[in-house]
Amino acid sequence: MIINSGDKFRQTVPESRRVVVKIGSRVIVRKTGKPDNARIKSLVLQLAAMRRAGYELVVVSSGAIAAGMEALRIATRPASVPDLQMCAAVGQGRLMATYSELFGKQKIVVGQMLLTHDDFDRKIRLANLRRTMDHMLRQGIIPIINENDAVADEEVKADLSFGDNDYLASLVARQIRADLLILLSTVDGLRSYDAKGRTHRVPYVEAINKSILQLVRPPAAGGLSKGGMDSKLRAADACMKSGCNVVIADGTRRDVLTNVIAGRDEGTLFIGSPA
């Protein structure tokens, strides 16, 4: 059997040691705006199995604003920065409590880290951040990271944000020298379009060039998520250049993390350049 390059590189995915998993808002929040606790539990169980198998894990999770909206009974995403910050402040504690409880049942300790652009722009803070994450990982603790929307107004504006945490996850992956970044969304990877307008999943990408960028369509406006394929490709491109593999996959699919880490044909694999 002839093995194409996508299959060949997928076979190396299980060899990853340090993995960053980004969970997007749409993955763990229902269309009603309420958290999807069943899906969160499913993802936690898969992550726990990965941790027991020896993988060092960092989770970057969106969903604080949506959790706050539920607590405050706000039906649609607010437009004003103060309202968004209020929702983030209320929701982050609820989101973290959910993760803490579910991982605790699996005998796994987690720790919260709320970050902004400043944490990556200032050398001392970046060094402290890297040292803290490295130490947590060596102790078997899973850092759970989110952007700190409650204090940094530029983070909640779409034009300057981390892009539903896609780029934040990329920054984290590069700082801790992760082998693999998994971006979970509600699409099963990058899609290509044929002459009849039908879409097909792209199994792997070796380089992000103009032909790849032309496949991107803008994210829907007014939803809970700030991200889209454009932000995911930007995150993937940065990681690929540092030698980190990236997988964009559908976080709503059953056993998605189990399949990805086993090297199965799930989502789109972006192949990192040799470091």
Q: Give the pLDDT confidence of 105-119 residue by residue, as tens digits.
A: 999 999 999 998 889
Report the pLDDT value the prediction gives residue 92, as an integer from 0 to 100: 95
In a domain, 275, yes or no: no
Distance CA 190, CA 208 (A): 11
- pLDDT confidence tier of residue 50, bands split at 50, 70 and 90: very high
Q: At 147, which CATH number?
A: 3.40.1160.10
In a domain, 204, yes or no: yes
Which of the pair, 202 or 4, is modelled with greater confidence? 202
Distance CA 179, CA 55 (A): 10
Q: Is the pTM of this model over 0.85?
A: yes
Which residues span the domain enclosing 29? 5-270
- pLDDT confidence tier of residue 79, bands split at 50, 70 and 90: confident
In a domain, 29, yes or no: yes
Q: Give the pLDDT confidence of 128-165 residue by residue, as tens digits.
A: 999 999 999 999 999 999 998 888 655 555 434 555 68
Q: Are strands 199-201 and 191-193 parallel, antiparallel or unpaired?
A: antiparallel
- pLDDT confidence tier of residue 216, bands split at 50, 70 and 90: confident
On the question of pLDDT at 220 being above 80, the answer is: no
Write out the two tokens for 121.
């722009």
In a domain, 189, yes or no: yes
Structurally, the chain folds into a number of domains equal to: 1
On the question of pLDDT at 197 being above 80, the answer is: no
Write out the two tokens for 2.
């002839």
Cα distances (angstroms) measured from residue 22 to each of 8, 78, 194, 237:
24, 24, 30, 16
In a domain, 48, yes or no: yes
**What one-character DSSP code corresponds to residue 13?**
G
In a domain, 253, yes or no: yes
Q: Among candidates 132, 133, 106, which has minimal Cα distance to 52?
A: 106
Beta bridge partners of 270: 205, 246
In a domain, 89, yes or no: yes
